[in-house]
């Protein structure tokens, strides 16, 4: 009887230690996710050619300081940002869609507070000055077997990145009015200029508009995994062929 009681005590102690370990692990994961890095995946082609559907990346939560959107479920426990740092032109950033404060979007910072932004025949103008772009080789989409015109765009601060024009320079978003970025807000654009709902879309169901600093979640830093989506979850034998190994551990530009 004494031996049985001792075994029960040991078993109970073992279960308690296991529960503690799980709780600690969950707390550590929440702290890392809230204050250091959070994983995101790319569900759309709005950031092609730099980010592809099926890319998985880490976002640094500390880059712009912390707002309520830094925390899981965005609890309204405080307003503004703590340890605030301003986004820089050219950053690729994750933010909460202003119209619902829930949906995660990822775009590039193009316009800063007080800037004017406009597109004329596909060419980007910031504060009335034409942003240089250089034609390079076409971007080849291996998943779709298509290729599109590709350029290197150089922003006023010297930041460079690739863009594509799937429909040339005369799509619906290639000619816009002049946008005046409000104080405390940013103008965000996708690198796939003809297939991106971004700050150019100021009304309607796809409205994005200007993004308040408080809505920024963090800066995209590095790709850690990528798949072309050809392998289903149970098709273990197809996992490796579906991986884009050349994109693993790629720094996001």
- Quick: pLDDT tens for 65-117: 988 887 777 778 777 888 889 999 999 999 999 999 999 999 999 999 999 99
Q: Which residues contact 212 (CB under 8 A, 6 or more apart)?
A: 98, 184, 185
Q: Which of 39-43, 113-117, 128-132 has the lowest mean pLDDT?
A: 39-43
The pair of structure tokens assigned to 191 is: 């690198």
pLDDT confidence tier of residue 50, bands split at 50, 70 and 90: very high
pTM: 0.85
The residues that are catalytic are 46, 107
Residue 1, pLDDT > 50, answer no
242 assigned to some structural domain: yes
Question: Which residues are within 8 A (CB) of 14 and not within 5 positions of it... i.e. 6 or more apart?
Answer: none
Domain presence at residue 138: no
Answer whether residue 13 shows pLDDT above 70.
Answer: no
Rounded mean pLDDT of 120-127?
97
The answer to whether residue 195 sits within a structural domain is: yes
Q: Under a CB-based contact definition with an 8 Å cutoff, are residues 239 and 231 in contact?
A: yes
Query: Domain count of the chain?
Result: 1
Alpha carbons 91 and 218: distance in angstroms, whole number? 10
| Domain membership flag for residue 234 | yes
Residue 97 CA to residue 139 CA, distance in Å, equals 28
pLDDT tens string 223-241: 999 999 888 878 888 888 8
Rounded to the nearest integer, the mean pLDDT of the chain is: 88
Encoded tokens for 186: 């940013």
CATH number at residue 221: 2.10.109.10
The three-state secondary structure class of 51 is coil
Selection from 209, 223, 229, 231 nearest residue 253 by Cα: 223
Nearest to 188 by CA among 70, 94, 57, 102: 94
* 90: nearest Cα among 217, 189, 226: 189
Decide if 153 is inside a domain.
no
Range(s) of the domain holding residue 182: 36-122+174-251
pLDDT tier for residue 140 given thresholds of 50, 70 and 90: very high
Predicted local confidence at residue 235, as pLDDT: 83
Per-residue pLDDT averaged across 132-138, rounded?
A: 97
Element (H, E) at 129: strand 129-130
Is residue 147 in some structural domain? Answer: no
Q: What would the mean pLDDT of 210-224 be, rounded to a whole number?
A: 96
Q: What percent of the chain has pLDDT over 90?
A: 66
CA 47, 127, 109: angle at the middle one, nearest 5? 25
Give tens-digit pLDDT for 104-113.
999 999 999 9
In a domain, residue 73? The reply is yes
Would you say residue 61 lies in a domain?
Answer: yes
Residue 97 CA neighbour count, 13 Å, CB half: 14
């Amino acid at each position: 009887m004494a031996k049985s009681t001792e075994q029960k005590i040991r078993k109970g102690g073992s279960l308690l230690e296991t529960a503690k370990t799980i709780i600690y692990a969950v707390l550590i994961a929440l702290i890392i996710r809230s204050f250091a890095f959070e994983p995101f995946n790319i569900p759309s082609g709005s950031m092609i050619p730099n980010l592809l559907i099926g890319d998985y990346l880490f976002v640094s939560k500390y880059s712009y300081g912390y707002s309520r959107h830094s925390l899981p479920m965005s609890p309204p426990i405080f307003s503004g940002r703590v340890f605030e740092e301003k986004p820089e032109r050219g950053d690729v950033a994750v933010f909460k869609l202003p119209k619902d404060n829930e949906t995660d979007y990822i775009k590039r910072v193009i316009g800063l507070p007080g800037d004017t932004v406009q597109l004329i025949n596909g060419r980007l103008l910031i504060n009335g000055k034409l942003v240089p772009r250089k034609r390079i080789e076409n971007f080849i989409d291996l998943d779709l077997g298509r290729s599109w015109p590709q350029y290197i765009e150089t922003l006023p601060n010297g930041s460079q990145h690739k863009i594509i024009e799937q429909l040339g320079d005369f799509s619906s978003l290639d000619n816009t009015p002049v946008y005046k970025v409000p104080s405390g807000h940013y103008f965000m654009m996708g690198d796939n200029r003809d297939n991106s709902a971004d700050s150019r879309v100021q009304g309607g169901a796809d409205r994005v508009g200007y993004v308040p600093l408080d809505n920024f979640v963090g800066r995209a830093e590095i790709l850690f995994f990528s798949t072309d989506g050809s392998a289903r979850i149970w098709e273990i034998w197809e996992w490796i062929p579906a991986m884009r190994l050349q994109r693993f551990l790629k720094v996001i530009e």
